């Protein structure tokens, strides 16, 4: 039998229905598993095992009576720290400023609560969610379960680590430049960023999305049945749509798949990742798709303009802090945002306008192809104590060149594990579709996942010393 902490949400629900397992069985196994992992990983925030076990006990009673309340009743989930849950403070990776408990659930938390999923914990993120790293001045360092001296990436760092380490099947991250897909790639899990507005989120912002982080495409699709329900608090939400997210059948024959190996700027692509993407593309070709070489969509001007705009935006947040509070922020964030106070309004506007240039460039791709396959990350791994793959605050976004254009363009994009490096680290590939084609991206990912047919492989907890 599959270890309880590695069972998918679908497997758990089947076991509950057949009375082979109860939510309490699963919760107790998870708590034991987390006890072994968490001192090494540091992936969780707001983890209260007693409350989790009590909620699991109540869910078990409902299943015994044959009266589960929701379609996810008894399935463990985590939510990124930045996603509000009523009664828990949102430290924003820093613990600075007002730390009052949230007064209501944000939309993703509310949807999963409506379906009676069991909230195991929140997950860690770096300062202000503005690093692709597991480093945080408040949470400390979150480590990659495949190798504890390696980084998870971020900013959904704890979610990536928790998913890979088996802290239950369902996890939710947020993504404004790659923050779901990057840690998914470096941690070897599925990370799905839908079309902006498909999953309502609060607060909303240009390019900001919530998305599933799971160990299978099936579980990501299952989460969409809850997360994609509408919520008026998000003024960018899409109109409600009736989609059978769990129907993942797709005939790939005739689809034109663009293969984008070059990012246009940023870090050079590692050869092992390039081979993984090329191999994955060949699997889609074997299924009947036509492969089309694609030029990059991103330019240096676009990435640098976005950098200037984001520096200015970050400085506006830092400026609101006292000097004492500011000194507690990670030095890399301070060093990066410092220029934001000297960037003129005209420069900031010009930087923001590069988001529109990205939108035009990404949307134009789909005049010629039905979907795109690319790397998710340019590099295989980087040290756990680095703040980014460059570890240079003046070059903070060289690693997001494959992911950030699709945030600004609002297209759905999914990262999927496509194998492992010579040193045993995961290699992520990214699938992208045109706006609103979220379901087709999931179907294409399921097709690729099936054809890759990777042998199940997950990290083992460190041996106690």
* Spatial distance between the Cα atoms of 351 and 304, rounded to a whole number of angstroms: 8
What 3-state class would DSSP assign to 420? Answer: strand
In contact, 15 and 49? CB cutoff 8 Å: no
In contact, 161 and 147? CB cutoff 8 Å: no
Task: Retrieve residue 228's tokens.
Answer: 């994609």
Q: Is 132 a catalytic residue?
A: no
Q: What is the number of residues in the chain?
A: 465
Q: Is 80 a catalytic residue?
A: yes
* Spatial distance between the Cα atoms of 175 and 6, rounded to a whole number of angstroms: 25
* Spatial distance between the Cα atoms of 98 and 113, rounded to a whole number of angstroms: 26
* Spatial distance between the Cα atoms of 274 and 427, rounded to a whole number of angstroms: 9
* Spatial distance between the Cα atoms of 300 and 307, rounded to a whole number of angstroms: 10
Among the options 133, 157, 179, 374, which is catalytic? Answer: 179
* Spatial distance between the Cα atoms of 402 and 236, rounded to a whole number of angstroms: 24
Encode burial over 193-203: b for 16+ CB neighbours within 10 A, e otherwise. Answer: bbbbbbbbbbe
Q: Is 36 exposed, middle or buried (0-12, 13-18, 19+ CB in 10 A)?
A: middle
Q: Is 73 exposed, middle or buried (0-12, 13-18, 19+ CB in 10 A)?
A: buried
Question: Measured between alpha carbons, how far is residue 96 from residues 43, 90, 174, 321, 360 in Å?
Answer: 20, 10, 20, 8, 38
Among the options 59, 60, 80, 157, which is catalytic? Answer: 80
What 3-state class would DSSP assign to 23? Answer: helix
DSSP one-letter code for 383: B
Among the options 155, 156, 157, 374, which is catalytic? Answer: 155
Q: Is 155 a catalytic residue?
A: yes
3-state secondary structure 42-97: CCEECCCHHHHHHHHHHHHHHHHCCCCCCCCCCCEEEEECCCCCCCCCCCCCCCCC
* Spatial distance between the Cα atoms of 250 and 447, rounded to a whole number of angstroms: 7
Could you give the residue numbers annotated as active site? 80, 155, 179
């Amino acid at each position: 039998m599959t270890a309880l902490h590695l069972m998918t949400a679908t497997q758990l629900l089947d076991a509950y229905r057949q009375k082979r397992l109860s939510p309490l069985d699963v919760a107790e196994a998870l708590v034991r598993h987390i006890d072994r992992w968490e001192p090494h990983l540091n992936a969780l925030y707001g983890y209260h095992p007693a409350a989790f076990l009590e909620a699991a006990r109540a869910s078990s009673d409902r299943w015994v009576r044959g009266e589960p309340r929701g379609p996810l009743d008894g399935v463990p989930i985590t939510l990124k720290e930045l996603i509000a849950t009523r009664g828990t403070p949102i430290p924003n990776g820093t613990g600075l400023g007002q730390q009052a408990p949230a007064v209501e659930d944000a939309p993703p938390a509310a949807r999963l609560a409506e379906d009676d999923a069991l909230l195991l914990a929140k997950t860690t993120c770096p300062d202000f969610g503005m690093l692709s790293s597991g480093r945080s001045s408040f949470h400390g360092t979150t480590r990659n379960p495949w190798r504890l001296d390696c980084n998870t990436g971020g900013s959904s760092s704890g979610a990536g680590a928790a998913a890979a380490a088996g802290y239950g099947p369902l996890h939710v991250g947020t993504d404004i430049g790659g923050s779901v897909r990057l840690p998914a790639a470096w941690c070897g899990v599925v990370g799905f960023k839908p079309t902006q507005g498909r999953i309502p989120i609060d607060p909303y912002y240009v390019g900001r999305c919530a998305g599933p982080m799971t160990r299978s495409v099936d579980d990501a699709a299952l989460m969409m049945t809850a997360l994609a329900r509408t919520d008026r608090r998000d003024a960018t939400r899409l109109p409600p749509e009736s989609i059978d997210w769990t129907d993942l059948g797709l005939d790939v024959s005739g689809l034109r798949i663009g293969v984008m190996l070059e990012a246009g700027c940023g870090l050079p692509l590692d050869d092992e990742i390039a081979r993984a993407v090329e191999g994955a593309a060949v699997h889609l070709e074997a299924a009947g798709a036509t492969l089309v070489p694609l030029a990059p969509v991103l330019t240096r001007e676009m990435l640098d303009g976005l950098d200037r705009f984001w520096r200015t935006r970050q400085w506006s947040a830092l400026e609101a802090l006292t000097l004492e509070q500011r000194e507690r922020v990670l030095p890399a964030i301070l060093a990066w945002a410092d220029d934001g106070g000297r960037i003129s309004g005209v420069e900031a506007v010009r930087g923001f306008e590069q988001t529109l240039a990205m939108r035009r460039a990404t949307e134009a791709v789909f005049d010629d192809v039905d979907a795109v396959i690319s790397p998710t990350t340019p590099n295989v791994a980087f040290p756990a104590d680095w703040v980014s793959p460059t570890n240079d605050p003046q070059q903070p976004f060289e690693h997001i060149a494959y992911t950030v254009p699709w945030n600004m363009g609002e297209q759905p994009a999914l990262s999927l594990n496509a194998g492992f490096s010579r040193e045993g680290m995961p290699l992520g590939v990214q699938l992208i579709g045109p706006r609103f084609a979220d379901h087709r991206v999931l179907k294409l990912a399921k097709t690729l996942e099936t054809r890759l047919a990777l042998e199940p492989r997950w990290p083992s907890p460190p041996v106690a010393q």
